[in-house]
């Protein structure tokens, strides 16, 4: 039996808002950023092409819990992954 895979989400044509990313200690998540005014979380991953995902309507409390989680990858899978997002082309990440 062949497993069916969902096609990757397309990149948005919109200009990416400038949310500064900082690297985190995680085997799954490479860097996280947050824009408190826009309530937008930005995430990029250790695997893949380096796309930057923006998750709107994320509260500061969720961001702080995410960045402070014992397992950032598990927190992402449970609380962030199900959210709607926009996918942007990769850019350099500051260390």
User: Judging by beta carbons within 10 Å of its beta carbon (0-12, 13-18, 19+), is residue 6 exposed, middle or buried?
Assistant: exposed
Q: In what side-by-side order are the strands of the sheet with 29-35?
A: 22-23, 29-35, 40-45, 52-55, 86-88
Chain segment 11-68, per-residue pLDDT in tens: 888 888 889 999 999 999 999 999 999 999 999 999 988 899 999 999 999 999 999 9
Per the structure, the complete domain to which residue 56 belongs is given by 22-88
75 within a domain of the structure (yes/no): yes
Residue 92 has pLDDT above 80, yes or no: no
**pLDDT reported for residue 4:** 65
Residue 78 resides in a domain: yes
Whole-angstrom Cα distance, residue 34 to residue 60? 8
Reported as a pLDDT band with limits 50, 70 and 90, residue 91 is: confident
Asked if the structure places residue 3 within a domain, the reply is no
Q: How many domains does the chain have?
A: 1
Q: How confident is the model at residue 3 (pLDDT cuts 50, 70, 90)?
A: low
């Amino acid at each position: 039996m062949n497993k069916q895979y969902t096609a990757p989400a397309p990149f948005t044509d919109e200009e990416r808002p400038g949310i500064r990313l900082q690297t985190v200690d995680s085997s799954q998540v490479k860097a996280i950023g947050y824009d408190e005014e826009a309530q937008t979380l930005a995430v990029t991953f250790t695997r893949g092409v380096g796309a930057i995902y923006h998750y709107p309507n994320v509260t500061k409390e969720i961001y702080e819990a995410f960045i402070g989680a014992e397992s950032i990858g598990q927190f992402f899978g449970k609380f962030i992954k199900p959210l709607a997002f926009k996918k942007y082309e990769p850019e350099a990440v500051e260390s």
